[in-house]
């Protein structure tokens, strides 16, 4: 789990295990104990042994519309029968990447955007940070290179995501604290501290502030009152770009299409992934505001190039799946459903906190919730017990349990899930 990364192996002989190297875990702790998921349907997944589990985390916050929808399999099949993909470099593009970008522009959290497509959230963050720096270089303000991120932030694990991680353990062991030059951390919830940090570092050295609107992996931390607004003002006043990482919150998780709307923000760049396809294809990207893209579109021989792209950026099959997925979100009113469920969801979490003394705090927004336990009761062990009962949760930073079911969750399923969590906490206490 995230929490046990720092612990030391005691047995020097390597354990024998499957060829697949497990991510984000001390290998010997999970080898032989991994749940091999072979199937899924709606809000449930099925293990190799045939156990059916309620997916209370929607996988890694991705399975928003639920698992194994045939329409998406059909969309992928139809596209592959016609063309698996063709790259989107220079003079080439493909019809599905083009169509997807148009559809995304229609729901964009940024007016009149250009859209960069790539293969996931970590990828999107790398490109967004590069673009922020590229912007200031082009403006001739070459000292503006530092990317500021928040304590406990998670922005994936590519070079930039690793370097700007606010979860310290994700930055350890690489020789230098940062894989890229110039990053620094700012306060989780105190805008005054952020203001002081900007003064100390100097706005002339800062390219961008990047933040998740509601922190996910850091323990589900909704912003404190006025935090995001103050950060935005600080960015405006100091010529610092605001990058919102909506990899979890994008496409409905907070009951609005983007958190940008919920909190009334005007970011320069917005990253997305997970919820753009609900995980039916690996896809991510960035919404780019006109202030950033216009100079790269000037009709002039001197127009600069932003060197982004990869073989699978704008992958035609992934794009076809995303187009169909957006249709499902809209036709089934799923974002509105999250909005409508939020009061019930919040009340159910509050009720859990009220009736269980081992719950220290609950935090939530939309269908994104965290349940923090007393230090003495291990969130990891509670999750193990929940699996035995047929429910999936996940331990996050700060001894917190993740609660982020698919958007199609019923009130009954939510009650059952939190009842199982309550029971597992009591058994573990
Ligand atoms: N940003 C945020 C806020 C995330 O939660 C994640 C993944 O959980 C990422 C970026 C990285 O996305 P991916 O795992 O698709 O690379």
Residue 248: CB within 6 Å of ligand 1?
yes
Shared domain check, 352 and 298 = no
pLDDT of 16: 84
* Mean of pLDDT over the chain: 95
Nearest CA to ligand 1 atom 6: 156
**401 within 8 A of 424, measured Cβ to Cβ:** no
- What CATH number is given to the structural domain containing 402? 3.90.1150.10
In the listed set 279, 298, 331, which residue is the last one of a domain according to the structure? Answer: 331
pLDDT of residue 1: 43
Does residue 218 form part of some domain? yes
Question: Could you tell me if 51 and 77 lie in one domain?
Answer: no
228 and 365 inside one domain: no
Atom of ligand 1 nearest to the CA of 284: 15
Same domain, yes or no, for 281 and 340?
no
Atom of ligand 1 nearest to the CA of 282: 15
Domain assignment present for residue 88? The answer is: yes
115 plus 86 within the same structural domain: yes
User: Ligand 1 centre and the CA of 6: distance in Å?
Assistant: 21
CA-121 nearest atom, ligand 1 = 12
Long-range contacts of 89-94 (CB under 8 A, 24+ apart): 89/309, 93/314, 94/314, 94/316, 94/319
* pLDDT above 90: percentage of residues in the chain: 92
Q: How far is Cα 126 from Cα 210, in angstroms, rounded to an integer?
A: 11
CB within 8 Å of 152: residues ≥ 6 apart: 166, 167, 188, 215, 218, 219, 221, 397, 398
Q: Is residue 30 part of a domain?
A: no
Pick the more confident residue, 4 or 383. Answer: 383
Looking at the structure of the chain, the number of domains it has is 2
Q: Is the CB of 273 under 6 A from ligand 1?
A: yes
Structure tokens given for 312: 């699978």
Does residue 247 sit in the same domain as residue 383?
no
Other CB atoms within a 10 A radius of the CB of residue 7 amount to 9
Binding site membership of 122 for ligand 1 (Cβ less than 6 Å): yes
**What does the pLDDT look like over 274-324, one tens digit per residue?**
999 999 999 999 999 999 999 999 999 999 999 999 999 999 999 999 999
- Cα Rg of the chain, angstroms: 22
Domain boundary among 294, 312, 331: 331
Q: Band of the pLDDT at 8, cuts 50, 70, 90?
A: low
- pLDDT tens digits for 312-363? 999 999 999 999 999 999 999 999 999 999 999 999 999 999 999 999 999 9
Distance between Cα 258 and ligand 1 center (Å): 15
Residues 24-41 pLDDT 10s: 999 999 999 999 999 999
Which one of 23, 61, 164, 247 would you pick to mutate in the ligand 1 pocket, going by the greatest count of ligand atoms within 8 A of its CB? 247
**Which of the four pLDDT bands, split at 50, 70 and 90, describes residue 4?**
very low
Give the Cα separation of 147 and 374 in Å (integer): 34
Ligand 1 centroid – CA 55 distance (Å): 18
Answer yes or no: is the C-beta of 155 below 6 A from any ligand 1 atom: yes
- Cβ 120 under 6 angstroms from ligand 1: yes
Q: Range of 387's domain? A: 35-65+334-428
Band of residue 10 on the pLDDT scale cut at 50, 70, 90 = low
**Mean predicted confidence (pLDDT) in 48-69:** 98
Q: What is the CATH number of the domain that holds 126?
A: 3.40.640.10
Same domain, 411 and 317: no
Q: What value of ipTM does the predicted structure carry?
A: 0.99
In a domain, 57, yes or no: yes
**Residues 387, 358, 389: CA angle, nearest 5 degrees:** 15
Provide mean pLDDT across the span 215-239: 96
**Average pLDDT of span 143-151:** 96
322 and 208 share one domain = yes
**For ligand 1, atom 13: residue with the closest CA:** 121
Residue of 274, 279, 285, 318 to test ligand 1 pocket, by largest number of atoms within 8 Å of CB: 274
- 326 and 405 share one domain: no
Q: For residue 161, how far is its CA from the centre of ligand 1 (angstroms)?
A: 9
Residue 121 domain-assigned (yes or no): yes
Please say which residue of 313, 331, 349 terminates a domain: 331
Mutate to test the pocket of ligand 1, among 119, 127, 152, 156 (most ligand atoms within 8 A of CB): 156
Task: Return the ligand 1 atom nearest residue 273 CA.
Answer: 15
């Amino acid at each position: 789990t995230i929490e046990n990364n720092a612990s030391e192996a005691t047995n020097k002989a390597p354990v024998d295990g499957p060829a697949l190297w497990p991510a984000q875990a001390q290998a010997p702790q999970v080898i032989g104990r991994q749940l091999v998921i072979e199937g899924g349907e709606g809000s449930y997944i099925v293990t190799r042994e045939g156990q059916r589990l309620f997916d209370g985390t929607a996988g890694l916050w991705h399975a928003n519309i639920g698992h194994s929808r045939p329409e998406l399999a059909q969309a992928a099949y139809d596209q592959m029968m016609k063309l698996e993909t063709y790259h989107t470099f220079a003079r080439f593009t493909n019809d599905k990447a083009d169509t997807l970008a148009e559809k995304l522009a229609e729901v964009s959290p940024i007016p009149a955007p250009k859209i960069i497509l790539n293969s996931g959230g970590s990828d999107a963050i790398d490109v967004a940070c590069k673009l922020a720096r590229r912007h200031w270089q082009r403006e001739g303000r070459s000292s503006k290179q530092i990317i500021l991120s928040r304590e406990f932030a998670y922005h994936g694990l590519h070079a930039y995501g690793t370097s700007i991680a606010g979860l310290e353990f994700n930055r350890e062991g690489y020789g230098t604290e940062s894989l890229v030059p110039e990053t620094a951390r700012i306060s989780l919830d105190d805008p005054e501290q952020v203001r002081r940090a900007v003064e100390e570092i100097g706005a002339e050295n800062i390219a961008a502030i990047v933040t998740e609107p509601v922190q996910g992996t850091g323990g589900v931390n909704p912003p404190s009152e006025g935090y995001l607004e103050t950060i935005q003002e600080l960015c405006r006043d100091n010529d610092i770009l605001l990058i919102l990482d909506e990899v979890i919150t994008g496409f409905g998780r907070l009951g609005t299409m983007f958190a940008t709307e919920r909190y009334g923000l005007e970011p320069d760049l917005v990253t997305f992934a997970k919820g753009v396809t609900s995980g039916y294809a690996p896809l991510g990207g960035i919404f780019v505001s006109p202030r950033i893209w216009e100079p790269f579109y000037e009709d002039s021989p001197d127009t600069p190039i932003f060197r982004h792209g990869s073989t699978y950026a704008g992958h035609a099959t992934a794009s076809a799946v995303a187009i169909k997925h957006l249709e499902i979100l809209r036709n089934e009113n799923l974002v509105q459903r999250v909005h409508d469920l939020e009061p019930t969801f919040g009340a159910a979490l509050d009720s859990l906190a009220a009736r269980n003394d081992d719950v220290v705090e609950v935090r939530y927004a939309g269908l994104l919730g965290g349940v923090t336990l007393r230090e003495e009761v291990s969130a990891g062990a509670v999750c193990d017990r929940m699996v035995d009962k047929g429910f999936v949760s996940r331990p996050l930073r700060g001894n917190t349990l993740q609660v982020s079911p698919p958007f199609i969750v019923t009130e009954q399923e939510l009650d059952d899930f939190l009842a199982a969590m309550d029971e597992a906490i009591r058994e573990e206490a």
